[in-house]
A and B are shown apart, each in its own frame.
Chain A
Amino acid sequence: MAAPARVRTLPAAVAAIALAAAALWVPATPPEQPASQPPAAAAERAEDDLPSLGLPWGKVRGWERVNDGWTLTWQPAHGMWLVRAWVPDGPGEVLWRIEAASWLPGVRLSRRAASALAGRDDGVAQGREYLGRRDWLLTDARVLGALPAGGDLPANPRRGYPAAAALLAGLLLAGAAARHLVPGVPSRVWRQAVGWSALALVPLLPQLSALAQPAFQAGVRPWVGELAFGAAATLLLAALAFAAQRFPAVAGRPVAGWLAVGLAAGVVAGRLRPATWLLGVAGLPLRLPELAALAVLLGWLMGLAGDGLRELARPAGRARAAVLALLGVAAVAFAGPWLGVALAVVAAAAVERGSGTGMAVAGVWGWVFGSVWTLAEWEPALRDALVLLLFGVGTVAAIGLARRTTGISSPTA
Chain B
Amino acid sequence: MIRFGYVLRVVAAAAAAAGAVALVRGRGVPGEAQAAAVARAAMERLGYAPLGEPTATFEGDQELAWALERARPGPAGAQLARGEGGAVRWRLVFPGGGEAQVTVDGVVWSLRRPVPEAPGPDLFPSLATPRVEAAVAQAVLDPASWRLVRAQSWREGGHTWERAWFVGGSGPLPPGWRRELELEMAGSSVVSWKRFVHPLGTDLGVVTGRMAELRLLRRPALLGLAIVVIGVLIAGAEAVAYRESTALARGLVYGVVVAVAGSFAADTLAAAPVQGVVLAAVVALLPGWTDLPPTRLSFGPAAGVALAAATLAGGTIILGAGGWVPVTSPVPSDTGWERQLADAWLPALVEEPLLRGALPAFAAPLLGWWGAALLAAPIGALLHPEPSVPLLASIGLGVVLQLGLAVVARFAGVGGAVLARGTCEALVQRAAFPAGPGWNRIALLGVAVGTVLLLWPRRRA
Contacts and interface: CB of A to CB of B under 8 A. Distances in A.
A186 interface: no
A164 interface: no
B275 to A, nearest CB: 20
A232 interface: yes
Interface string A236-274: 101100100110000000000000000000000000000
Contacts of B208: 101-103, 219
A334 to B, nearest CB: 26
Nearest to B221: A231
Contact of A225 (B216, B241, B362): B216
Interface in B182-219: 201, 204-205, 208-209, 212-213, 216-217, 219
A228 B220 contact: yes
B248 interface: no
B238 A235 contact: no
The secondary structure that dominates the B interface is: helix
A239 B209 CA distance: 31
A101 B220 contact: no
A103 B209 contact: yes
B220 A235 contact: yes
Interface stretch (A83-91, A173-181, A372-380): A173-181
Nearest to B222: A232
B366 A177 contact: no
B363 interface: yes
A180 B237 CA distance: 10
A409 B237 CA distance: 34
B79 to A, nearest CB: 24
Nearest to A169: B230
Given A177-B238, A177-B241, A220-B213, A103 B220 contact: no
A38 B45 CA distance: 73
**Range of interface residues on A (Cβ < 8 Å):** 20 to 34
A221 interface: yes
A180 B204 contact: no
A232 B208 CA distance: 23
Given A101-B209, A103-B205, A181-B241, A228 B216 contact: yes
A236 B223 contact: yes
B165 to A, nearest CB: 11
A276 interface: no
Contacts of A215: 216
A80 interface: yes
B220 A242 contact: no
Contact of A177 (B216, B217, B234, B362): B234
A221 B205 CA distance: 12
B253 interface: no
Contact of B209 (A180, A220, A227, A245): A220
Contacts of B230: 173
B224 interface: yes
A224 B395 CA distance: 13
Contacts of A232: 219-220, 223
Contacts of B201: 103-105
B105 to A, nearest CB: 26
A217 B209 CA distance: 10
A176 B234 contact: yes
B219 A228 contact: yes
Interface of A: 79-80, 101-105, 173, 176-177, 180-181, 215, 217, 219-221, 224-225, 227-228, 231-232, 235-236, 238-239, 242, 245-246
Given A177-B238, A228-B220, A239-B227, 16 more contacts: A79-B209, A80-B205, A101-B208, A103-B205, A103-B209, A104-B201, A104-B205, A173-B234, A221-B209, A224-B216, A225-B216, A231-B382, A232-B219, A235-B224, A242-B366, A245-B366
15 contacts: A103-B201, A105-B201, A173-B230, A177-B237, A177-B241, A215-B216, A219-B205, A221-B209, A224-B213, A224-B391, A227-B217, A228-B216, A228-B219, A231-B217, A236-B227
